[in-house]
Amino acid sequence: MKNFIKEFIPYWLGVKIRGNYQRLQAFVYRGNKYVCPLCGKSFRKMLTGGIENEIFKKYHIIGGGRRPNSVCPRCYSTDRDRLVFIYLRDFTDVFKKNYQILHIAPEGSLRAYFMHKTSVSYTSGFKDAQAYKGYYYDQLKQHIDITATDFSDNKFDVVICNHVLEHIEDDLKAMREIFRIMKPGGFGILQVPFSPDLEKSIEGLPAPTPAERLRLYGQEDHVRIYGVDYFDRLKSVGFEVNKFMLYHSDSEKYKNYAINPEEPIIVVKKSKLG
């Protein structure tokens, strides 16, 4: 049905209808319990998001699965988009400097903020962008395969790659590529869903179909369940890795943003000497 709608309703009209629907939804959900830092609106509750799956529960996956109060009714930012945004706003100077930023598979609300409210030099895109239809990504045409980009060495001050690597077969190749195109002294935010219970990631199982991947990895387009060895992989390509528990750094300040208290911000740095 969704594809049918996208096929027959032109982009401009789709965006208009979607915008009106979001405004109405924001009105219905209005209240004071939660505030979205990206659109600035406040709500009595947010929408439930994510996918319900037993595998995610079994391994206590952080940053995945079905989550109440995760999607903003007005701008559709998710808990993880807000987490990244708040980190950038409160713990970096990204919104104050004229940095070169690369945003892979960009979240719509975060992308809109970068494009319209900051002076950064902003590049975004994702693999096979041209083939993707929708009112969320439709105008995003740049094809970027993060395992093999055309960017020069040491180009970007900041790389944001939020919940992408769990979709990529050769994730080490993607990590090496991110390291290559990052400036010495630059940093990246490389969020993935992961299990703190697993020493070793689950991957490489025969899973040729979406149904098999759903059964084994918890989502039709995931190719692994990361364990805590994720952080070692990042280190193995040269990054310094820091897990920052943003919510717990000031729970009083952050409690109304509807972010996941248990999700760390995974910050990688490329040393100036490297």
Binding residues (CB under 5 A) for Zn ion: these are: 36, 38-39, 72, 74-75, 77
Q: Are strands 30-35 and 42-43 parallel, antiparallel or unpaired?
A: antiparallel
Between 39 and 174, CB nearer to Zn ion: 39
Q: How far is the CB of 14 from Zn ion (least distance, A)?
A: 19
Task: Find the shortest distance in angstroms from Cβ 270 to Zn ion.
Answer: 32
Nearer Cβ to Zn ion (45/235): 45
User: How near is the Cβ of 108 to Zn ion at its closest, in Å?
Assistant: 10
Neighbouring CB atoms inside 10 A of 33's CB total: 14
Nearer of residues 108 and 227 to Zn ion, judged by Cβ: 108
Compare residues 109 and 219 and give the one whose CB is closer to Zn ion. Answer: 109
- CB of 154 or CB of 256, closer to Zn ion: 256
Cα separations in angstroms, 224 against 54, 141, 164, 188: 15, 27, 11, 21
Name the residue nearer to Zn ion (CB basis): 75 or 144: 75
Nearer Cβ to Zn ion (74/270) = 74
Q: Residue 97: which region, alpha, beta or left (left: phi > 0; alpha: psi -120 to 50)?
A: beta
Least distance between Zn ion and beta carbon 136 (Å): 14
Shortest gap between Cβ of 203 and Zn ion (angstroms)?
A: 34
**Tokens representing residue 236 in the block:** 């193995």
- Residue 246 phi, psi (nearest 5): -60, -50
- Per DSSP bridges, beta strands 182-189 and 47-49 are unpaired
CA distance 156 to 88: 16
Smallest distance, Zn ion to C-beta of residue 257, A:
10
And the tokens for 110? 């975060």
* Least gap, CB of 79 to Zn ion (angstroms): 11
Helix (H, G, I), strand (E, B) or coil at 143: strand
Q: Residue 46 or residue 102: which is nearer to Zn ion going by CB?
A: 46
DSSP state of 264: P
Cβ at position 131, least distance to Zn ion in Å: 28
**Dihedral Cα 51, 53, 59, 61, nearest 10 deg:** 0
Cα Rg of the chain, angstroms:
19
In angstroms, the CA 95 to CA 203 distance is: 37
Q: List the one residue out of 163, 171, 174, 36 whose CA is nearest residue 107.
A: 163
